[in-house]
Amino acid sequence: MDLKKILTILEGDKDYISAAKITILDGYRIPECAQQVAKGLEIDSTEVLEKWTNKEYLQTLVEKYWFLDESILGADIMFPLEGYFGPETYVITSKKTSIEDVTKMMLDQMDRNLSTYKDKISNFMISGNKVSMHQFLSLASVVQCESSGQKEDQAKIAGVFMNRLKKGMLLQSDITVNYAWQRTGVDVSYSHLEINSQYNTYKYTGLPVGPISSVPATTMEACLQYKKHDYFYFFAIKDAQDKS
């Protein structure tokens, strides 16, 4: 910008005045993202969810973004764009901002986050097999939720899941069961474990069918640099120094 333009903005150019802020936190699920977007745009969250499940619209996004593929359109996927929005605070500067505009902002942020790790992710392997971006984000989102965002635990937790995947064991992540039920919290009953969902890692081997939350760059890094150890289990104890 030239000096004249900058001064015009500082004097109160309406095109550059923040109308709202939309904050997507680490570990947010699609319903939470939809609520934040709806609040920022002053619309109903069902309108946002309808847009994010529209197959024609989703297909245009798959064609535009390198990290999206047909996996998000699978029949067992609960929310196609789950895990693909970059956690960030997005500033809305115009009352004319649409759902598509905000979606682009969030996907563009994810593009920047993933581009940093693109080569590493493309070479990331589980049991000798390379994983897709969709699979990597599925793993990273489980680590994000199981760690409750505690960065110091994430590499160790990722190591536990990697050991289980290599052995062909069930991941048995309570978080994935709760996601299948669209529940929050960590408590899970035996009846909850019976849900027939591809997200239920007590019933189906391997990774869940898709990501279960937003994933920050720090969690991606923790998964790529997961801690190599011999543990197959972990248990979170309040205020414990070592939760492995």
Residue-by-residue DSSP string for 61-105 = HHHH-TT--GGGG-TT-SSTTTT-SPPEEEEE--TT--HHHHHHH
Would the pLDDT of 4 be above 90? no
pLDDT at 185: 74
As a whole number, the mean pLDDT across the chain is: 92
Would the pLDDT of 238 be above 70? no
pLDDT at 18: 61
Q: What is the mean pLDDT of residues 23-51?
A: 97
Helical ranges in 123-189 per DSSP H: 133-146, 151-167, 174-181
Burial of 187 per CB tally in 10 Å (0-12, 13-18, 19+): exposed
- What does the pLDDT look like over 171-227, one tens digit per residue? 999 999 999 999 987 789 999 999 999 999 999 999 999 999 999 999 999 999 999
For residue 110, give the nearest of 165, 61, 39 by alpha carbon.
61
Place of tokens 């977007």: 37
Residue 241's pLDDT band, with cuts at 50, 70 and 90, is very low
Would the pLDDT of 244 be above 70? no
Burial of 129 per CB tally in 10 Å (0-12, 13-18, 19+): exposed
Residue 9's pLDDT band, with cuts at 50, 70 and 90, is confident
d(CA 18, CA 132): 38
Amino acid at 69: D
Would the pLDDT of 91 be above 60? yes
pLDDT at 242: 46
Q: Which of 44-48, 128-132, 141-145, 238-242 has the lowest mean pLDDT?
A: 238-242
Would the pLDDT of 15 be above 70? no
Would the pLDDT of 163 be above 60? yes
pTM passes above 0.85: yes
For residue 228, give the nearest of 172, 164, 156 by alpha carbon.
156
Structure tokens belonging to residue 30: 């699609």
How many angstroms separate the first and last alpha carbons of the chain? 52
